[in-house]
A and B are shown apart, each in its own frame.
Chain A
Amino acid sequence: MASIFFSSSRRKMLACSRPLPFLFTRRRLHQPYNSLTESDVQIFSEILGHNPSLLLQASDPIVHAASTDWTGHYWQAPARLLLRPQTTAQISALLAHCHQRRLPVVPQGGKTGLVGGSVPTVAHEEIILQLQYLNQITALDPVLGIVTCQAGVVLENLQDYCANHSWLVPLDLGAKGTCQIGGNLATNAEGPYFRKYGCLAGNVLGLEVVLADGRILDYNYRLSNNMKDNTGYKWHQLFLGSEGTLGIITGVTLACAPLPRSKQAAFVACSSYDQVLLVLQKAKQYLGEILAAMEFMDAAIWKLVEASGRHQMPLSVETILSESAVQEGGPFFLLIDTHGSNANHDQEKWQTFLEAVQDDILNGVLAQDIKQYQSFWQIRESANPTVAQLGYTYKYDVSLPIAQFQDWIQEMRLERLGPLARNESSSLVNANWGHILDGNLHFNVTTIGKREVQKDVLDALEPYLFHSILKRGGSISAEHGLGQAKNHLLPSVHDEHTLDLMRSLKALLDPRMILNPGKFLPAK
């Protein structure tokens, strides 16, 4: 029982050290689970048609890889079993058996999540159930732009398929080449286009879900062309963002947006955060309905991306600093992206906007062709991988009032990171970026050259960071979700009534608690 009372800090420290002795892992939550037996493996094998590539055991390096997440923070030991069903019916049969035998399961998509939600936990012996073979795009209505596909479709593949028919999937992420649409839905992923194309959940017209006991539920998934339907509770929305704890999403019907004919992007550099706010307001005012995204990158992350040498950078921190005075933490960079239906109209809007912000920026560049437009986004999307390569990164994803971003960053730097004793050999950098239009900031602290969590850094950051965000009325997890990284914080965020409601829903849909134990909800 000891594990559930550990704070995230201790859990992380354990997660990064060597696997725990077997005796320790026997202590489970109050819902007892059974251990996997040969007979279970035989039954799974039969369900999967005795196909040896669909059922892998711990000794296989693939299982090893599947048991550790993208950040590398949550590794303990390879899962005992990895299942790779090819159909919803197989998933239904597998879960029915797991439910009957009380075997815990962790559903896994692209495994690009940043809160350890897609890998086994310390305390349980989950079976990994991968969705990747449910990868068919079954239908696209070319007139309405409604696409129906299975949960294992890689996001970029879905984007390309829909784009070929002039439709835009209303979701884009840096992880698009690996993440799957099922995982995106289960985590309610957002990314930079939230403001223009809305919440992903709002674009879901149909959903197919398999419950913990194997029942298959269909919300307008097979009747795929209804844009509007008010025939009951919108129960399907419960599963969106539930991180695989209420059911496994196996299929979705999604409403797409018309593929924009004209896409323009510019990077601008500002000397102060006040200027950033001015540019943001003017962008909303002058670019109006074509404004699709605005991404913030501070000087620290810009310099790290510059130093990685992988991109031709349109602007240079050093050059800017040699020419102008900037606020501490600056210069600040903004990637401004517009989507429109007419290039001439868009260019007119851009001209008015650029004239309006001439005095608010130090410099900027406007993409002249598609390749430059794509490079700008590559620069922005390389923020996360760049810091990940430099060392252990303490990652935080918060919502804050937009006007307070830099103020909060300074607070963290001065009050918590500054006092940390650091010398030349153990440098620490705080790099920040985010979807500034949505008030979403990604606050990252990296210990350069060190691949393990350091207690003093962790203690400097947690739990202070979470409390200071809550004090400012923000969210401790804007879009990355809870997983096993932040679930323990929920009692600070929600009152008991809310937590009880969430627990009741969990008990209703997964009474044996076999789906993704130890995640999303805090242990009681």
Chain B
Amino acid sequence: MKILVGVKRVVDYAVKVRVAQGTVELANVKQSMNPFCEIAVEEAVRLKESKIAKEVVALSIGPKQCTETLRTALAMGCDRGIHIQTDLRTDYMELQPLAIAKMFQQIIEQKENPDLILLGKQGIDSDCGQVGPMLAGLLQCPQVTFAAKVESHDSGFLVERETDAGTESIHIQTLPAVITCDLRLNEPRYATLPNIMKAKKKPVETILAETMGIDLTPRNQVLQVIEPPPRKDGIKVADVDALIEKLKNEAKVLA
């Protein structure tokens, strides 16, 4: 079985995002692998370690620094990397989910033909969660989003899916299929130094986005990017009676 894993390079989860020149500031900001993509890579590598998969290919779309993200994926255990190079912003400002899904589709149908596609459930920059479902629609194949558990079952997979009310179990009967990964699925491994060294020798292929013949124009126009309004100061009350009065009459959270 071959697995294709999507890895996205995003502003690091721990960075305090700022707005500059009407858009999210990216200059000199630390960027790292999207945490949900890390989980997807970890799951793919575990499937390979348990001999369910034979090969794991990592795919990333973005500027030339995406090769660093791919090297992390390779250090975690992926076998090969594919880098679709573009200088378009991938945080929704320029490149948007439909175009990304179409690029994935082309690689899948014309090049790799994987049996399973693992993606993070969403990018922490755009928070869209759309590439997975859109890709499955384009490929006309089964999809399970927000996977909390993935088990090989018959010739497919048994996936536990997170919902607001609990989890549902879904049996994917035919492959290929798309699974998007959620937090509870696994805890990603650290990249060990020997693996980082080995990763340097693993092949990474670069494809220029503009040579793919796909319309990359955004479907949605970003009108405005602003920071959230600052939180209002709290007030101190003199005693419990005053607190109850405010909760009743101002905050209106008590009957």
What's the least CB distance linking A370 to chain B, in Å?
4
Residue B197 at the chain A interface, CB threshold 8 Å: yes
Q: How large is the interface on A (under 10, 10 to 19, 20 to 34, 35 or more residues)?
A: 20 to 34
What's the least CB distance linking B187 to chain A, in Å?
6
In Å, the complex CA distance between A358 and B200 comes to 14
Residue A45 at the chain B interface, CB threshold 8 Å: no
> Is the Cβ of B13 less than 8 Å from the Cβ of A370?
yes
| Chain B window 95-125, contacts with chain A (Cβ cutoff 8 Å), 1 for yes, 0 for no | 0000000000000000000000000000000
Inside 8 A of A312's CB, which chain B residues have their CB?
187
Inside 8 A of A363's CB, which chain B residues have their CB?
192-194
Stretch at the interface among B28-36, B132-140, B150-158, B222-230: B28-36
What's the least CB distance linking A368 to chain B, in Å?
5
Listed A/B pairs (5) with beta-carbon separation below 8 Å? A358-B193, A363-B194, A365-B192, A368-B72, A369-B32
In Å, the complex CA distance between A347 and B71 comes to 13
Residue B53 at the chain A interface, CB threshold 8 Å: no
> Is the Cβ of B193 less than 8 Å from the Cβ of A369?
no
Residue A391 at the chain B interface, CB threshold 8 Å: no
Inside 8 A of B68's CB, which chain A residues have their CB?
347
Inside 8 A of B35's CB, which chain A residues have their CB?
371
> Is the Cβ of B32 less than 8 Å from the Cβ of A354?
no
Residue from A266, A314, A364, A370 in contact with B30 in the complex, judged by beta carbons closer than 8 Å: A370
What's the least CB distance linking B72 to chain A, in Å?
5
> Is the Cβ of B196 less than 8 Å from the Cβ of A354?
yes
Residue from B13, B192, B193, B197 in contact with A371 in the complex, judged by beta carbons closer than 8 Å: B13
Inside 8 A of A370's CB, which chain B residues have their CB?
12-15, 30, 32
Write the chain A residue with the least CB distance to B69: A368
> Is the Cβ of B28 less than 8 Å from the Cβ of A372?
no
Known A343-B30, A374-B14; contact A365-B193, beta-carbon cutoff 8 A: yes
> Is the Cβ of A369 less than 8 Å from the Cβ of B14?
yes
Interface residues of A in 329-366 (CB under 8 A from B): 343, 347, 354-355, 358, 361, 363-366
> Is the Cβ of B33 less than 8 Å from the Cβ of A369?
yes
> Is the Cβ of A366 less than 8 Å from the Cβ of B197?
no
Write the chain B residue with the least CB distance to A372: B190
Residue A268 at the chain B interface, CB threshold 8 Å: yes
Residue from A261, A266, A314, A374 in contact with B28 in the complex, judged by beta carbons closer than 8 Å: A261
> Is the Cβ of A358 less than 8 Å from the Cβ of B197?
yes
Residue from A266, A314, A343, A371 in contact with B14 in the complex, judged by beta carbons closer than 8 Å: A371
In Å, the complex CA distance between A358 and B187 comes to 27
Write the chain B residue with the least CB distance to A166: B28
Q: How large is the interface on B (under 10, 10 to 19, 20 to 34, 35 or more residues)?
A: 20 to 34
Interface residues of A in 367-396 (CB under 8 A from B): 367-372, 374
What's the least CB distance linking B180 to chain A, in Å?
20
Inside 8 A of B24's CB, which chain A residues have their CB?
none
Residue B183 at the chain A interface, CB threshold 8 Å: no
Interface residues of B in 12-47 (CB under 8 A from A): 12-15, 28, 30, 32-33, 35
Write the chain B residue with the least CB distance to A261: B28
Write the chain A residue with the least CB distance to B68: A347
> Is the Cβ of B30 less than 8 Å from the Cβ of A366?
no
Residue B191 at the chain A interface, CB threshold 8 Å: yes
Write the chain B residue with the least CB distance to A354: B193
Q: Is the interface of B mostly helix, strand, loop or mixed?
A: mixed
Residue from A262, A347, A355, A364 in contact with B192 in the complex, judged by beta carbons closer than 8 Å: A364
Write the chain A residue with the least CB distance to B16: A164
Across chains A and B, which 6 residue pairs bring their CB atoms closest together, nearest first?
A369-B32, A370-B14, A364-B193, A365-B190, A314-B190, A370-B12
Inside 8 A of B12's CB, which chain A residues have their CB?
369-371
Residue from B13, B15, B32, B193 in contact with A268 in the complex, judged by beta carbons closer than 8 Å: B193
Inside 8 A of B75's CB, which chain A residues have their CB?
368
What's the least CB distance linking B208 to chain A, in Å?
22
What's the least CB distance linking A516 to chain B, in Å?
34
Write the chain A residue with the least CB distance to B10: A369
Inside 8 A of B14's CB, which chain A residues have their CB?
369-371, 374
What's the least CB distance linking A298 to chain B, in Å?
20
Interface residues of A in 267-313 (CB under 8 A from B): 268, 312
Inside 8 A of A369's CB, which chain B residues have their CB?
12-14, 30, 32-33
Interface residues of B in 217-245 (CB under 8 A from A): none
In Å, the complex CA distance between A361 and B15 comes to 32
Known pairs A355-B197, A369-B14, A370-B15 / 5 extra A-B pairs, C-beta < 8 Å: A365-B191, A365-B193, A367-B190, A368-B190, A369-B32
Inside 8 A of A374's CB, which chain B residues have their CB?
14
Inside 8 A of B192's CB, which chain A residues have their CB?
314, 363-365
In Å, the complex CA distance between A368 and B37 comes to 13
Inside 8 A of B32's CB, which chain A residues have their CB?
368-370
In Å, the complex CA distance between A367 and B189 comes to 11
Inside 8 A of B13's CB, which chain A residues have their CB?
369-371
| Chain B window 61-92, contacts with chain A (Cβ cutoff 8 Å), 1 for yes, 0 for no | 00000001000100100000000000000000
Residue from A261, A361, A372 in contact with B193 in the complex, judged by beta carbons closer than 8 Å: A361
What's the least CB distance linking A208 to chain B, in Å?
28
In Å, the complex CA distance between A275 and B130 comes to 50
| Chain A window 456-468, contacts with chain B (Cβ cutoff 8 Å), 1 for yes, 0 for no | 0000000000000
What's the least CB distance linking B202 to chain A, in Å?
16
In Å, the complex CA distance between A374 and B12 comes to 12
In Å, the complex CA distance between A366 and B35 comes to 16
In Å, the complex CA distance between A324 and B226 comes to 55
> Is the Cβ of B193 less than 8 Å from the Cβ of A368?
no
Inside 8 A of A361's CB, which chain B residues have their CB?
193
In Å, the complex CA distance between A312 and B189 comes to 9
> Is the Cβ of B191 less than 8 Å from the Cβ of A368?
yes
What's the least CB distance linking B17 to chain A, in Å?
13
Inside 8 A of B28's CB, which chain A residues have their CB?
261
> Is the Cβ of A368 less than 8 Å from the Cβ of B194?
no
